[in-house]
């Protein structure tokens, strides 16, 4: 179910907006023109935007104004794009990223 606030008691109603299909982790979603990646996905009930690069734990938005980088996603192959600051474009490929190897985790010198 969409969580969009089409009608607001003070801000009024949103008019007709153009629909923009885009992809998140290979599945198709619909954004409206002028929506951020974070907004469009949350409207569709998607809270997890990426996984932690080391632990794989889920992450969503935190600050929603570009400071915290918690919502960083891959967009059309470009890593570290902030989902909260980026407007959806038609056909955009958004990806949550994956766990990265940590070969030096235990320290150097064969530790």
Residue ranges in contact with another protein by CB under 8 A: 3-6, 8-11, 14, 35-36, 38-39, 42-43, 47-49, 52, 57-68, 70, 84-87
Nearer to another protein, 15 or 103 (CB): 15
Q: How far is the CB of 74 from another protein (least distance, A)?
A: 17
What lies within 8 Å, CB to CB, of 37 at 6+ separation is 22, 24, 31, 49, 73, 75, 81, 83, 84, 86, 87, 88, 92, 94
Nearer to another protein, 67 or 102 (CB): 67
């Amino acid at each position: 179910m969409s969580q969009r606030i089409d009608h607001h008691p003070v801000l009024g109603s949103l008019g007709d907006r153009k629909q923009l299909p885009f992809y998140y982790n290979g599945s198709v979603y619909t954004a409206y023109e002028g929506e951020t990646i974070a907004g469009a996905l949350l409207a569709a009930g998607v809270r997890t935007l990426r996984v932690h690069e080391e632990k794989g734990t889920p992450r969503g938005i935190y600050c929603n104004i570009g400071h915290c980088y918690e919502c960083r996603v891959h967009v059309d192959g470009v890593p570290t794009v902030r989902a909260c600051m980026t407007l959806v474009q038609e056909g955009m490929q958004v990806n949550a990223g994956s766990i990265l190897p940590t070969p030096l985790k235990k320290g150097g010198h064969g530790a």
